[in-house]
Chains A and B, each alone.
Chain A
Amino acid sequence: MTLVEESPVHAVRKRSAAPGAGRRGRRQENLAGYLFMSPWIAGFLLLTAGPMIASLYYAFTSYNLFTPPKWVGLDNFTTMFQDPRWQKSVEVTLKYVVVATPLKLLLALGVAMLLAQRRRGQALYRAAFYLPSLIGASVSVGFVWRALFSDDAVVDRTQKIFGIDAGGWIGNPDYVLYALVALSIWQFGAPMVIFLAGLKQVPRELYEAAEMDGAGPVRRFWNITLPMLSPVLFFNVLLESIHAFQVFGSAYVVSDTRCGPADATLVYTCYLYQKGFKESQMGFASAMAWTLVVAVALVTAVLFWSQKKWVHYEEAAK
């Protein structure tokens, strides 16, 4: 308010025409809108929409970058569905998504509820817990993980106390994927921050009323916290699972660069990278990419469809 009054431009009032006058004004607004949007529009056409169409076309061709793409119909898809390594990569990715996402969100929600009871140091804890989300994707942390989960390092020695003799997880095909899961869970801070913001918006009166009616902490969680938080939970589930489908760097850096041993961490993107950029099978890789897009779209659609049943949107409140 005060800003307007002190604004120097305010004094020089040149035009008193009403804003957006008539058709000419509207046309000018359209022009201005598209001019401001032009970088995004160019980016959308050149780097998103165009490439999407191109890769849909490549998916039906045999293409090695050096000779022009050759139409092969559904060949890429039939070879892909029968390819044992592709099947393995689907299995590894699904396992990763299904294990890592719920555990990460559960921890995020739990810690957010802990932090939501404001006590001294809350802001400091919140900041510290968020740090892994910023550095977790770096090669540096990948190396640290590799070291912590190798033979005779801290994880190996801790599990020996409990009688587990798996050796370092990095070299063990049955365990190495869980080292990646652990790395994902370690980055629970980002969804935690979102949960925390959601928790702050739950009206206190609801809890007070419930307490007066004799509802214990468990009832209050199920009947107030969870429904009120469900839009935020939905957002986190959607984003985290979509991200988990696309994991690459940690598989490539933490396990060996071929996403092994024994393809144990051959996540979908890793196989796509190998096919496309190591073997120059651009057609096959594009078919893989489109299959993933369809799968992610299906997951998204199912989540959006299911939200009618469990996501509670507050309409009247505020």
Chain B
Amino acid sequence: MSGTTSASASASAVARPANGRRRIGSVAWHVGALLVLAVVLYPVVWVLGASFKPSEDIVASLDLLPAKPVWTNFSGLADGISDISIGSFFGNSLMYAGLAVVGVVMSSSLTAYAFAKIRFAGRNLLFTLMIGTLLLPYHVLLIPQYVLFRHLGYIDTLVPLVAGKFLAVEAFFVFLMVQFMRGLPRELDEAAKLDGCGHLRTYWSIVLPLSRPAVITSAIFTFINAWNDFMGPLIYLNTPSKYTVSLGLMMFRDQEGISDYGSMIAMSLVALVPVVAFFMAFQRYLIDGMATSGLK
């Protein structure tokens, strides 16, 4: 936000020492940064290379990239696993993540609007409660929620996984949106009110559109969290045809024959693709969203 001013300030601070010293400092900086980069990216490059290696080479060979790339791991994926096609896992994950995004965006933005823009009795207390749930270990909810959804007959469906998303249980996103909406100029909603807009109109046509950055950040984080979610599906889904990608991968592992190992690694790579793609397209939103969470 204040990037330009601090950039010029630091530029003048850097310009002071002698040129030679500055060059050495710059080289050291890049060496350090590249070193960290190498460690950080090693596993990512590894999985990319490994998925084009024959199964028996994957663990044994230390070369990051295959000597002779093979496609068998990917063609092996086409057979699916235990009669379930790979597409089924991806479809289920997509359904889960899609519903989660819709739920979080709708419920969190409504709740955030109330916290940020409506003065109602008990608002501060509820806000404190909401922040409190951020720190609550989810374990304590795991068993009673399971009992509840079992009573309602929703085991082996997506309902237990997405119900909370439609009920604004993800306090982090509510918090993110409240912070953003509080920053919007008050004149806007006051003008709308004078013009006879009710809260629903103000929310829908003014505050929600202006909150787009916070909404996008929440949507992408939600998608990624649902896509990566392992424990939720592990507890609630029992039928392989309903498994998400995470559980599908575990099916590969459970029959970890050497012949399937390559396919397992290939599917790991494919499972990472949507997350990395979202990251590349929206990294600014994600990083800024993350950064503001710590600053209040």
Contact surface of A with B, Cβ cutoff 8 Å? 1, 3-4, 7, 9-10, 12-16, 19-20, 29-30, 32-34, 36-37, 39-44, 46-48, 50-52, 54-55, 58, 65, 111, 114-115, 117-119, 121, 125-132, 134-135, 137-141, 143-145, 147-148, 150-154, 157, 186, 189-190, 193-194, 196-198, 200-201, 204, 207-208, 232, 235-236, 238, 242, 245-246, 248-249, 252-253, 257, 268-269, 272-273, 276-277, 282, 285-286, 288-290, 292-293, 296, 300
Given A43-B169, A47-B169, A130-B283: A9 touches B291 (CB 8 Å cut-off) = no
Given A129-B37, A152-B59, A186-B40: A143 touches B191 (CB 8 Å cut-off) = no
* Chain A residues within 8 Å of B268, by CB: 139-141, 143-144
* In the complex, B84 has a CB within 8 A of chain A: no
Which of B10, B142, B193 has its CB near the most chain A CB atoms (within 10 A)? B142
Contact between chains at B191 and A4 (CB < 8 Å):
yes
Separation in Å of the B215 CB from the closest CB of chain A?
16
Q: How far is the CA of A39 from the CA of B150 in the complex (A)?
A: 22
Contact surface of B with A, Cβ cutoff 8 Å? 2, 6-7, 9-11, 13-14, 26, 29-30, 32-33, 36-37, 39-41, 43-44, 46-47, 50, 58-60, 62, 106-107, 110-111, 113-115, 118-121, 123, 126, 129-130, 133, 135-148, 150, 163-164, 166-169, 174, 185, 187-188, 190-199, 203, 224-225, 227-228, 230-231, 234-235, 245-246, 249-250, 253, 264-265, 268-269, 271-272, 275-276, 279, 283, 286-287, 290-295
Tell me the total A-B contact number using a CB cutoff of 8 A. 311
What are 21 residue pairs bridging A and B, where the CB atoms are less than 8 Å apart in the complex?
A1-B185, A7-B195, A9-B196, A32-B118, A32-B120, A33-B114, A34-B114, A39-B111, A42-B167, A47-B145, A50-B148, A52-B144, A58-B147, A127-B279, A139-B249, A139-B271, A190-B290, A197-B295, A253-B250, A282-B147, A285-B143
Separation in Å of the A45 CB from the closest CB of chain B?
9
Contact between chains at A148 and B33 (CB < 8 Å):
no
Q: How far is the CA of A306 from the CA of B58 in the complex (A)?
A: 49
Given A121-B33, A276-B143, A282-B147: A39 touches B110 (CB 8 Å cut-off) = yes
Contact between chains at A143 and B287 (CB < 8 Å):
no
Q: Chain B: interface secondary structure? A: helix
Q: How far is the CA of A285 from the CA of B41 in the complex (A)?
A: 38
Q: How far is the CA of A268 from the CA of B59 in the complex (A)?
A: 30
* Chain A residues within 8 Å of B110, by CB: 36-37, 39-40
Contact between chains at B294 and A198 (CB < 8 Å):
yes
- If A19-B193, A235-B294 are given as contacts, then 9 extra A-B residue pairs at C-beta distance below 8 Å, sorted by A number, are A9-B196, A29-B119, A37-B126, A40-B168, A117-B29, A125-B37, A141-B268, A276-B146, A296-B137
Contact between chains at B30 and A33 (CB < 8 Å):
no
Contact between chains at A204 and B6 (CB < 8 Å):
yes
* Chain B residues within 8 Å of A292, by CB: 137, 139-140
Q: How far is the CA of A114 from the CA of B187 in the complex (A)?
A: 41
Q: How far is the CA of A292 from the CA of B11 in the complex (A)?
A: 49
Given A13-B194, A16-B194, A140-B47: A293 touches B139 (CB 8 Å cut-off) = yes
Contact between chains at B120 and A30 (CB < 8 Å):
yes
* Chain A residues within 8 Å of B197, by CB: 9
Contact between chains at A51 and B144 (CB < 8 Å):
yes
Given A129-B40, A143-B268: A52 touches B139 (CB 8 Å cut-off) = no
Contact between chains at B120 and A33 (CB < 8 Å):
yes
Separation in Å of the B287 CB from the closest CB of chain A?
5
* Chain A residues within 8 Å of B137, by CB: 242, 245-246, 289, 292-293, 296
Contact between chains at A134 and B275 (CB < 8 Å):
yes
Q: How far is the CA of A134 from the CA of B138 in the complex (A)?
A: 20
Which residue on A lies nearest to B47, using beta carbons? A144
Contact between chains at A154 and B228 (CB < 8 Å):
no
* Chain B residues within 8 Å of A140, by CB: 47, 249, 268-269, 271-272
Contact between chains at B246 and A139 (CB < 8 Å):
yes
Separation in Å of the A238 CB from the closest CB of chain B?
8
Given A14-B195, A33-B119: A40 touches B290 (CB 8 Å cut-off) = no
B107 interface neighbour in A43, A147, A245, Cβ under 8 Å: A43
Separation in Å of the A156 CB from the closest CB of chain B?
10
* Chain A residues within 8 Å of B39, by CB: 186
B203 interface neighbour in A14, A36, A189, Cβ under 8 Å: A36
A248 interface neighbour in B187, B192, B231, Cβ under 8 Å: B231
Separation in Å of the B259 CB from the closest CB of chain A?
16
Contact between chains at A19 and B294 (CB < 8 Å):
no
Contact between chains at B43 and A48 (CB < 8 Å):
no
* Chain B residues within 8 Å of A285, by CB: 142-143
